[in-house]
Structure 1
Amino acid sequence: MTTIHIAASREYDVVIEPGLLTRLGTMAAELGLGRRAAVISDDAVFALYGAAAEKALTDAGFQVDHFLFPHGEQQKNLSTYGQVLNFLCDRRFTRSDFLVALGGGVVGDLAGFAAATYQRGVPYIQVPTTLLSMVDSSVGGKTAVDLEHGKNQAGCFYQPSLVLCDPSLLNTLPEREYRAGCAEIIKYAMLYSEDFLRELEETPVLEQFERVISVCVGMKRDVVRGDEFDKGQRALLNLGHTVGHAVESCSGFTLLHGEGVAIGMAIITRAAVEKGLCTPETLPRLLAALERYGLPTETDYPLTDILAAAEADKKRTDDVTKFIVPERVGHCRVEPVPADEVAGWLKAGGLR
């Protein structure tokens, strides 16, 4: 078992070990949480793991309710968020009770935002069930829902009380979701470690789940410790995300988040090489890694559509877009780009 402690406004542990789902109840009890739990999940995940999660909680003496919603990014909206809050009200949940986010990034973001805002804050536990959510979105306290104008436009920072990463849950992960998670893993290697990228090149992620999850969570721990509220170096974690979110939006969210991030990393690295900011050998190394894991590196959406979608991005301030630019593998920087230069960057990245 690997335990990584996150030092934030609420301190908590990320625990990584196969079989942890069966210990959800006992570990929740050790936290001294209230005796009622609401499991928030989507229909696809709950069908696989809902019964096991509820049994673990009831066996530990908790009274358990659950709220389910249809799976998919399209459901991460104000309507579903309101339904969760009304569900908690109808069942008279109080601030002494807690929520369990059982699912991938959509579930974690939505349940976390509900926990942050229901009665001004109730505890919650993250039980991520996708590779992407285990290595990234379940850790760090970013919670949000999407608005018509963009992704994650309504949300807040609210840390969980515990994160349980059970790699055995990945046995049922669809291949496409696995590949999407690999995009975020490659992102961490591009940001912080050429040695880690070499590991990913030599040994497939699926042969070293616990190791890879631990490395990525450890990297994120260090970032959150220094910049919990995303005022400085935490922005680096957005490598590939500005363009990636725009591509996701253009696809009507039929493209997975990790697929968008892969495309975004490829585009911004092409642009950085074109502008002389990145070593030329970095681009083929990145493209080879993405292609090794079956990830896209280009998009057919036109430049005008990507620009329009990117205008709603949270990383824009004072008519400046902050691109995260690789200089070489393991080293990236924040590059403020004025609004009138963004189109030029995207053209340099291959968009037309």
Structure 2
Amino acid sequence: MNVVNVNITNGSYPINIESGRLDYLDQSIPEDATSIAIVTNSTVGGLYGKRVRDVLLRTGKNVFYVELPDGEKYKDWITLNKIFDSLLNFKLDRKAVLLALGGGVIGDITGFAASLYMRGIRFIQVPTTILAQVDSSVGGKTAINHPIGKNMIGSFYQPISVEIDTDVLTTLSPREISAGLAEVVKYGLILDSSFWEWCENNVNNLLSLDDVAIEYAIKRSCELKSYIVGKDEKESGIRAILNLGHTFGHAIESGLGYGKWLHGEAVGCGLVQAAELSGYSTGFKETDIARVRYMISSIGCPFKAPNFGLSRWLELMLLDKKNENGEIRFVLMKNIGETVIQNVSHDAIEYVIAKTVTSKI
């Protein structure tokens, strides 16, 4: 088993990565836990719900089950309240543990529920998509969406562990694999040019979920994210570089309506747009812009954005959480593996939008 530790101000927690990890989840439950509530969705629950429940029953504790509808559009107040209804009906107390079994939506909404229920109870992340395993399950960002903006209502609340089973990835669709790999390659762009080059050389192995390649990609991504989270847990500084491509990506998700594009697809397209903006603003090399575009195309993500029109693009991007005093701030690249955060002119944004959108939505 590979173990990556996330070291934060008030302690640390492990990311445990191995084939078949679902069968050992009972080992992740604290001895003093009074009960366990699995929170999942209808799709993942159908695949793994009974298996995980049976494993957790080995602890001798009461195991409850909360099944939510599947989809980004359900990452909202109504669904959050369904979790609270269930926890209250189960009479869970402050020593109960929530277990988030699913992708990024389940991880985000379960973590947010854990941060609020009885002013905070423990939770464990069990991510079942590549994107959740390398990104959303690590670092303690929890949230729900608002119709006006993505992830605008949330908290920083760390899990007590992240349990990654690489075997579950075999049930993902090719589209979900592609979306997850967008977040993997992002880490190379922001922090590690050697990892980026490794990704370029192993695209086919990653797409086919080669055991060695995918486990290394997950481990290295978690190491890089853990390094940043350890330096800046609540995104007051360097952690913002993890949002490379996200200002554009979140605008795509909000503008189209949540769920039309997968989060990773929007981020992948956003990485191409961020590369173009970097070329305009920081001197990022044209050859490297081409490498980013080719990589996003190779992993199967869209690299042309919807055409909302410039004014709508600006309106959507002004909702980004990195912005200050009404100025749009972007994570940009100076070189592959080297980033900078800065405001850019509207002329620069107009240039990029004109260059990267399709002729229609």
Q: TM-score, normalised by structure 1?
A: 0.95
Hey, what's the Cα distance between the residues in 2 that align with 1:85 and 1:275? 46
For 1:282, the equivalent position in structure 2 comes to: 288
Hey, what's the Cα distance between the residues in 1 that align with 2:352 and 2:94? 47
- By how many angstroms is 1:311 displaced? 2.3
For 2:174, the equivalent position in structure 1 comes to: 175
Hey, what's the Cα distance between the residues in 2 that align with 1:149 and 1:347? 21
2:240 equivalent to 1:239:
no
For 1:17, the equivalent position in structure 2 comes to: 18
| One-letter identity of the residue aligned with 1:176 | R
For 1:332, the equivalent position in structure 2 comes to: 339
Q: 1:293 aligns with which of 299, 304, 310?
A: 299
Q: Secondary structure at the match of 2:328?
A: strand
Hey, what's the Cα distance between the residues in 1 that align with 2:79 and 2:142? 14
- By how many angstroms is 1:194 displaced? 1.7
Q: Secondary structure at the match of 1:87?
A: helix
2:219 equivalent to 1:214:
yes
- By how many angstroms is 1:23 displaced? 0.4
| One-letter identity of the residue aligned with 2:312 | D
For 1:66, the equivalent position in structure 2 comes to: 65
Alignment of 1:62-141 (within 5 A): 62-141=61-140
Structure 1 unaligned spans of 5+: none
Contact 2:252 2:306 (8 Å CA) reproduced = no
Contact 1:98 1:124 (8 Å CA) reproduced = yes
| One-letter identity of the residue aligned with 1:23 | Y
The alignment yields a C-alpha RMSD, in angstroms, of: 1.5
- By how many angstroms is 1:292 displaced? 1.1
- By how many angstroms is 1:276 displaced? 4.8
Q: TM-score, normalised by structure 2?
A: 0.93
Hey, what's the Cα distance between the residues in 2 that align with 1:210 and 1:153? 32
Which stretch of the first structure deviates more once superposed, 40-49 or 329-338? Answer: 329-338
| One-letter identity of the residue aligned with 1:78 | W
- % of aligned pairs identical? 34
2:10 equivalent to 1:4:
no
Contact 1:36 1:98 (8 Å CA) reproduced = yes
- By how many angstroms is 1:342 displaced? 6.6
- By how many angstroms is 1:12 displaced? 0.6
- By how many angstroms is 1:22 displaced? 0.6
- Could you give the per-residue CA deviations for residues 168-211 of structure 1, whole angstroms, max 9, x where no partner exists? 01010111110000000110011112211221122222221111
Q: Secondary structure at the match of 2:301?
A: coil
Hey, what's the Cα distance between the residues in 1 that align with 2:341 and 2:72? 28
- Could you give the per-residue CA deviations for residues 13-39 of structure 1, whole angstroms, max 9, x where no partner exists? 0000000101001221xx334131000
Structure 2 unaligned spans of 5+: none
Contact 1:227 1:233 (8 Å CA) reproduced = yes
Q: 2:328 aligns with which of 307, 321, 326?
A: 321
- Could you give the per-residue CA deviations for residues 225-268 of structure 1, whole angstroms, max 9, x where no partner exists? 10000000000000000110010112212100001001111112
- By how many angstroms is 1:305 displaced? 2.7
Hey, what's the Cα distance between the residues in 1 that align with 2:50 and 2:298? 36
Hey, what's the Cα distance between the residues in 1 that align with 2:45 and 2:114? 19
For 1:306, the equivalent position in structure 2 comes to: 313
- Could you give the per-residue CA deviations for residues 257-309 of structure 1, whole angstroms, max 9, x where no partner exists? 00100111111211221335312221011111111111111113223332222
Hey, what's the Cα distance between the residues in 2 that align with 1:106 and 1:33? 28
1:46 and 1:33, CA in 2 relative to 1: closer, same or farther beyond 3 A?
A: farther
How many residue pairs align between the two structures? 349
Q: Secondary structure at the match of 1:291?
A: helix
1:292 and 1:25, CA in 2 relative to 1: closer, same or farther beyond 3 A?
A: same
